Amino acid sequence: MVATASDGEKRQRPPTQHEQNVYKACSLIPEGKVSTYGALATILKSAPRAIGQALKRNPFAPEVPCHRVVSSSLQIGGFNGTWGKTSQVACKKEMLLMEDVAFETEDTVSATSVIPCADLAKLYNLHALSCKQREDC
């Protein structure tokens, strides 16, 4: 994919509230685990593609570990705005392997590496509650 002026502008603008929520939820996925675009969409009352678009614009990587989000089929999915057998997706797989995420096949994550949606939702809700009680969030 060739970056266009509009891509650069999107990456340089401040994150929207939706994107900030996506980044907060994504930050809660522990190392060695993954979640799916669909699970994040469920937690945030959004759509999987909207989650993907927010992660595509992630200006905080790797602190916000967008590489830990995979497709609902548990295939690696896209990375950095690309999909399929690209160097960016290969990089995503390497990052997951370095974090000890298990794989069933070359491009499919093992179900044992998926944090259940309910567990991630609890973490997100606890984080949100904690932020309401503090001023530093």
Tally the C-alpha atoms within 13 A of residue 118's C-alpha that lie toward its C-beta.
Answer: 0
- Beta-carbon neighbour count of residue 130 at 10 Å? 10
d(C-alpha 60, C-alpha 103), whole Å: 26
Tokens 């609902």: give the residue.
72
The residue annotated as part of the active site, out of 66, 91, 117, 137, is 66
Radius of gyration of the chain (CA): 15
Active site residue 131: no
Instruction: Point out the residues that are catalytic.
Output: 66
